[in-house]
Amino acid sequence: MSLQTMRRANVPLHVEVASLLRSRILSGDLKSGERLPSLTELAKVFGVTSLTVRQAMNTLDEEGLITRGSGRGTFVRDVEIKPRRVFSVKSDLSQLMGGDMPLEVVLSTDAFEDDVIIDGTAFKRLKRRHQLGGQPFCMLDVHLRKDIYDIAPERFDKELIVLALQDLDIAVGSATQTVALASADLETAEGLQVDVNSPVFKVVREVKDDTDRVIYFGDLIYPGDALEFRIDFLG
């Protein structure tokens, strides 16, 4: 699926491309000094022409977000990343289990044959989608500790990870999540069936066992209308 087929009505393609890249720069996903792919490579990624990408780059250059040098390539400038205010909310671990919603797990067609090694520990990478009533509810890119994944790979491929952990009597000691408002890039928009650049919630999750070792971590992305937060303040 290309940006051509997912564009918002009456929004020029170069504006969409600039918006997607701007969002990644200002969120810190693209780091200061990082070299961007060539015009040809970006055109292939977005499914647009090189001219469209060049127009988008001109916009970002005028905004002071990138720097271009003849023969050197295009790099992200050192821009101010606005700090987010963090509210700490304590909750019961049962909230992590997804409640009573009958979510369906759909694995991505992407195959990751090689394990990811982090601090000497092997993790299995799983890209997947949760559906609710046949409709996309959440996109996930998670890393599950390989020794745990190997206990029941067929279950972890088809079930909610936290529920499979619970069913296999693998103790969850603690979990943290941070939630931030973001905008849908091309892959997210396609997976969640939303418009490019529409608001989404990005959740960064880390789950540890009762010995404080990381069991799994990953990014979860929800459509902007899929989550609602309520915080009860006690006097």
* 72 and 111 share one domain: no
Task: State mean pLDDT over 206-210.
Answer: 92
Is 35 part of any domain? yes
* 61 and 148 share one domain: no
What is the model's pLDDT at position 95? 64
* 31 and 137 share one domain: no
Summarised one tens digit per residue, pLDDT across range 141-197 is: 999 999 999 999 999 988 889 889 989 999 888 899 888 888 888 888 888 988 888
Is 121 part of any domain? yes
Predicted confidence (pLDDT) at residue 4 exceeds the cutoff of 80: no
Q: Can you give the CATH number for the domain in which 49 is found? A: 1.10.10.10
Q: Can you give the CATH number for the domain in which 213 is found? A: 3.40.1410.10
Is 85 part of any domain? no
**Domain final position from 76, 111, 140:** 76
**Domain final position from 12, 43, 76:** 76
* 109 and 218 share one domain: yes
State how far the Cα of 162 lies from the Cα of 183, in Å rounded to an integer.
26
* 52 and 143 share one domain: no
* 102 and 67 share one domain: no
* 186 and 101 share one domain: yes
State how far the Cα of 80 lies from the Cα of 9, in Å rounded to an integer.
31
User: Where residue 39 falls among pLDDT bands split at 50, 70, 90?
Assistant: very high
**Domain final position from 15, 41, 76:** 76
Predicted confidence (pLDDT) at residue 96 exceeds the cutoff of 80: no
Count, residues in the chain: 235
User: Where residue 87 falls among pLDDT bands split at 50, 70, 90?
Assistant: low
Average pLDDT, the chain: 85
CA end-to-end span of the chain? 51
Residue 183 token pair: 């905008």
Contacts of 223 (CB under 8 A, 6+ apart): 136, 137, 192, 194, 198, 200, 201
User: Where residue 6 falls among pLDDT bands split at 50, 70, 90?
Assistant: low
What is the model's pLDDT at position 26? 85
Task: State mean pLDDT over 111-139.
Answer: 87
Q: How many domains does the chain have?
A: 2
Predicted confidence (pLDDT) at residue 98 exceeds the cutoff of 60: no
Query: Looking at per-residue confidence, does 51 or 231 come out higher?
Result: 51
Is 50 part of any domain? yes
Residue range(s) defining the domain that contains residue 192: 93-223
Is 230 part of any domain? no
What is the model's pLDDT at position 122? 94
State how far the Cα of 7 lies from the Cα of 15, in Å rounded to an integer.
10
* 98 and 30 share one domain: no
* 198 and 139 share one domain: yes
Query: Looking at per-residue confidence, does 51 or 24 come out higher?
Result: 51
